[in-house]
Amino acid sequence: MRKKTIIITTVVLSVIVFVGYMVNKHRVTITDYSNGGISKTIFVFDLSTIKKIPNYEKEEEFELVFKSDYDKYHQGYCLKENKILSDEEIFRRGIKDYLEKRMELYEKESIYIFNCCSGERKREPVKYYLLSGVNATNWYEKFTANYDITKKSGLKEMFFKTFKAKPIDDIAKYLTIDMNTMTAGFKEPIVLSRGDNYHFMAGKSFLLFKKGDVYSFNYNEVFLISKQAIRKSEKEYYDEFQKEMGGSGPLKKFYYKVDYCGNVDYNVEKKFSMSFNGG
């Protein structure tokens, strides 16, 4: 009798373990757009009914949906808004998302460095500024003539005193999209202030690409570092990019993808972790 009880107990425990394994194996979190876009955990034994689509708004950079939503996505729908966005709107949102996420990353890095090891008493926030008196064709001559490389504050004085930098609350207001040339840029020159370093953008700053159902873009800027000379090669590279009008050139090696809702694949937390925690 004791032996029989042991056998029955073993069988029952084995069944419980197996059922638990199968439940965990087939339990997925899915976004149900036919039900208002809510996320819910379900048990799926027929995995062909579940599909993965890009969603760069999420930390995982993808989401699982029912096949009906998957088919709708591949018709070009932004599922969250239940509509198809124009190509121009997708690129506009994607570039805006990139610019804002990049500023968020640099601000996060700035705070980290300030708290751990900067030794400075005051920290300047990372922010975009509008410039006057300079443009995409004369920036090199203007910068080299007005930048005092001997001073740590040389770049700051140049941008804020000479080129009258004014803070921007909504950078999207200054963004221009040209679908005929597949480029994007700014109505007026922009600079991103990042401590003692600056990112300058003017003219055509983005090259746009659409291949099949994949949207992506590449960008160009001038990165200026305090107390370092502005190299002639920076101007040559910048000028070369300004002339690019499509095709397949070497400048397009680095790019960011955009999903159908205009979210860009720029993961702030992952990039921050790679910078300070070794990935």
| pLDDT digit string, tens, across residues 184-242 | 999 999 999 998 899 999 988 999 999 888 999 998 889 999 989 988 888 887 877 77
Instruction: Give residue 152's pLDDT band: very low, low, confident or very high (50, 70, 90).
Output: confident
Q: Which of 14-18, 145-149, 204-208 is least confident? A: 14-18
Residue 178, strand partner residues: 183
Instruction: Give residue 22's pLDDT band: very low, low, confident or very high (50, 70, 90).
Output: very low
134-169 burial, b for 16+ CB within 10 Å, e for fewer? bebeebbebbeebbeeeeeebbbebbbebbebeebe
Q: pLDDT at residue 142 above 50?
A: yes
CA distance 124 to 167: 13
